[in-house]
Amino acid sequence: MADVSGVAYDAVKMAVEHVLAKIREGKKLSTEDILILYLGTIVGDLKEIRADIARLDHRIDETNKRIDEVNKRIDETNKRIDDLAKRVDELAKRIDAVQTTLLELQKLLLELVRHIGSAKPTSQL
């Protein structure tokens, strides 16, 4: 299909050059000649549009690559956050265990103080 498009473009280009030669010579243009000139402008515009589309496609591809890179960085950051959350959870468990141990020690100390206090003879008071 690309070959047909290229051949058609070349044919229109040659026809336009022929009509331009008629204009330079001062000859009268037929309706077909005017249509060929108009078709030449349309083909030229179409070629520019295709070039713009190709340029935009390239920019979109580049933007998509940058988005992919940002997504990778976000994924890496999320993984680090998940790892930190696990560490925080582990530390919270350790803190809870230390608090439980401290509460048990406090209870034992209170019992020991009560026991020592009840074991003292009344003469020492």
Q: In this predicted structure, what is the pLDDT of residue 10?
A: 87
Q: In this predicted structure, what is the pLDDT of residue 122?
A: 58
User: What is the tally of helices (H) and strands (E) in the chain?
Assistant: 2, 0
Would residue 14 count as lying in a domain? yes
Q: Residue 43: is it exposed, middle or buried by C-beta count within 10 angstroms (0-12/13-18/19+)?
A: middle
Would residue 95 count as lying in a domain? no
Would residue 120 count as lying in a domain? no
Q: In this predicted structure, what is the pLDDT of residue 8?
A: 85
Query: How many domains, in total, are found in the chain?
Result: 1
Full pLDDT tens readout for the chain, 125 residues: 556 778 888 899 999 999 999 999 999 999 999 999 999 999 989 989 999 999 999 999 999 999 999 999 999 999 999 999 999 999 999 999 999 999 999 999 999 999 898 876 655 55
Would residue 110 count as lying in a domain? no
Which residues span the domain enclosing 18? 2-82
Q: In this predicted structure, what is the pLDDT of residue 38?
A: 94
- Pair 19, 36: CB distance under 8 Å: yes
Would residue 123 count as lying in a domain? no
Task: Note the pTM of the prediction, 2 decimals.
Answer: 0.56
**How many C-beta atoms surround the C-beta of residue 19 within 10 A?**
20
Would residue 22 count as lying in a domain? yes
Q: Which of 18, 19, 20, 10 is nearest to 43 (CA)?
A: 10
